[in-house]
Structure 1
Amino acid sequence: MSSTDFSDPTAMAQQAADFVRAQLLAPAGLDGIEVALVLGSGWNQGVDELGDEIASINLDAVPGFTKPVVAGHGGALRLARTASGKVAMVLTGRTHFYEGRGVEPVVHGVRTAAALGASTLVLTNGCGGLDPAWAPGTAVLLSDHINLTGTTPLRGATFIDMSEAYSRRLRELAREVDPTLPEGVYVQFSGPNYETPAEVRMAGVIGGNLVGMSTALETIAAREAGLEVLGISLVTNAAAGISGENLDHAEVIAAGKEAGPRLTALLQGILERI
């Protein structure tokens, strides 16, 4: 199987896991990981402070992965030992559905984490907020999501219970770090265009509080693999039509830079408890 052949996504994930195990884990005397993190837009600052580095490699060197195409994303797979002694895999970037390569590359990182033995997954993203009280820089725990991409990473008659897509236990743990964290429902659109004001209003009508272009598909794959998921969004801007201002990806990057130290402290605290 080539490094880009997703005809058998389970085998592709196993190939990536075998590579990481042989190239990065085995030299350190390790066989697998316990927790995985995907760092989205605005979340990459302070990645070196999330644990003692074991090894690191460019994402595009690992079978099935490519270099992130979005400004504000990193491009590394980093292994670290957290303050609680767990071995964590940190992906400093992700593949988005709007890149047009299909759903399998989008969830490849999640499936690779599962193949490496992870039981817990932390998914982060930058997003637009519908609640005017959530100023740019606000971190919001995900309580649920709505998938508007029109697709799924599941194949055939694969029926996965999504009643608790985002772990209540992990949300309570996150609030031990920051009791003020609000929570909301994330709505994934396909992108890459930002949502129109009418689409944002629709998202609110159907129960959404946050809008973005990632995470939901990854969560579905994670639940299929049996991973416990914690989702955290960084509100980088008010969603279209909320503030009356036009949207610009530079806002996303700027909000992430400003919130960087707080986001790092939040993730550090969570990793200490996982």
Structure 2
Amino acid sequence: MKKTIKYIKSKINVAPEIGIVLGSGLGNFADNIEDRIEISYKDIPNFPVSTVSGHDGKLIFGKINGKDIVAMKGRIHFYEGYDMKDVVFPIKVLAEIGIKYLIITNAAGGVNMDFSAGDLMLITDHINITGRSPLIGPNDDSEGPRFLDMTNCYDNELIAMADDVSSKMGLKLQKGVYMYFTGPNYETAAEIRMARVLGADAVGMSTVPEVIVARHRGIKVLGISTITNMGTGVLDKPLDHSEVVQVGQEVSHKFSKLLTDIVGVM
């Protein structure tokens, strides 16, 4: 970790308080970052490299709405074959750099029958159906508690703020619970029905491990899902990752405007 932080700090002259994780097909937001400094994951010592289409694999430092931010253009997924400690390593790096807020985004499948592809959903809570936690193993009490309280995991004040921003934009945001599956296979129709019964509104293959580590480090989290497709069995059509990326790109304008305005009031 020390070698990683030393390398990154040698490339930047800012200390951003806001971190943003950009999910599948949502990387176009990075084009709005001013005074950009881009660092490829592959050039950072010990940093895992994203292998998924739609995830470029760059840390981008710069300004949005006058605020210093760092964006992860692409994330690491457990299904890529990485250990869970590697999946959350980037979030630990952002914590060491000093972020206080994390806006975490993802592409998700809609479970709630009132949702449609292209909707944006504020995550109010999550269900970790995998049972896997990145906190398993020895705990460093200087970083966070052994037993982490998950109350207000997605910060209520940030949710209210995002809701207010979207209202001023005239943009309706859905709200709901995100259920984490490991992937990389999409869920079966039966699993989607189970998710609905258990109270999930959307499903996906990321986010939850990162959120757990962010909260462990005392970082306040705002989560936003782009509903890029409806879950298996909701519509009579097979699922395809290229469509996930395509829908992400189609909503990128309103998504980027929302993120930019949210950062402006943080």
Q: Residue 106 in 1 paired to residue 81 in 2? A: no
Deviation at 1:207, TM superposition (A): 1.1
* TM-score, scaled relative to structure 1: 0.89
2 CA distance for matches of 1:230 and 1:196?
28
Contact conserved, 1:64 with 1:105, CA < 8 A, in 2? no
CA RMSD of aligned residues (A): 1.3
Aligned ranges 1:116-265 → 2 under 5 Å: 116-154=97-135, 155-156=137-138, 158-179=146-167, 180-265=172-257
Deviation at 1:182, TM superposition (A): 1.5
Percent identity among equivalent residues? Answer: 38
Deviations along 1:80-124, whole A, 9 cap, x unmatched?
1221x3321101001101112210111111111110010000100
Which ranges in structure 2 are unaligned for 5 or more consecutive residues? 140-145
2 CA distance for matches of 1:53 and 1:74?
19
Residue equivalent to 1:64:
46
1:54–1:45 CA distance, 2 compared to 1 (3 A): closer
Deviation at 1:156, TM superposition (A): 4.1
Contact conserved, 1:24 with 1:56, CA < 8 A, in 2? no
SS of the equivalent of 1:231 reads: strand
2 CA distance for matches of 1:64 and 1:234?
30
1 CA distance for matches of 2:29 and 2:88?
24
Deviations along 1:41-71, whole A, 9 cap, x unmatched?
121113121x312411111211232332111
Contact conserved, 1:127 with 1:233, CA < 8 A, in 2? yes
Q: Residue 267 in 1 paired to residue 259 in 2? A: yes
Deviation at 1:240, TM superposition (A): 0.5
Contact conserved, 1:64 with 1:108, CA < 8 A, in 2? no
2 CA distance for matches of 1:76 and 1:228?
23
Deviation at 1:231, TM superposition (A): 0.4
Contact conserved, 2:112 with 2:196, CA < 8 A, in 1? no
Which ranges in structure 1 are unaligned for 5 or more consecutive residues? 1-11
2 CA distance for matches of 1:64 and 1:151?
23
Contact conserved, 1:107 with 1:153, CA < 8 A, in 2? yes
SS of the equivalent of 1:46 reads: helix
2 CA distance for matches of 1:243 and 1:186?
19
Contact conserved, 1:33 with 1:113, CA < 8 A, in 2? no
2 CA distance for matches of 1:257 and 1:82?
20
2 CA distance for matches of 1:209 and 1:147?
13
How many residues are paired up?
Answer: 255
SS of the equivalent of 1:236 reads: strand
Deviations along 1:242-261, whole A, 9 cap, x unmatched?
11211111110110111111
Residue equivalent to 2:143:
none
* TM-score, scaled relative to structure 2: 0.92
Residue equivalent to 1:37:
20
Contact conserved, 1:17 with 1:115, CA < 8 A, in 2? yes
1 CA distance for matches of 2:91 and 2:48?
14
1 CA distance for matches of 2:45 and 2:130?
26
User: Partner amino acid for 1:160?
Assistant: L
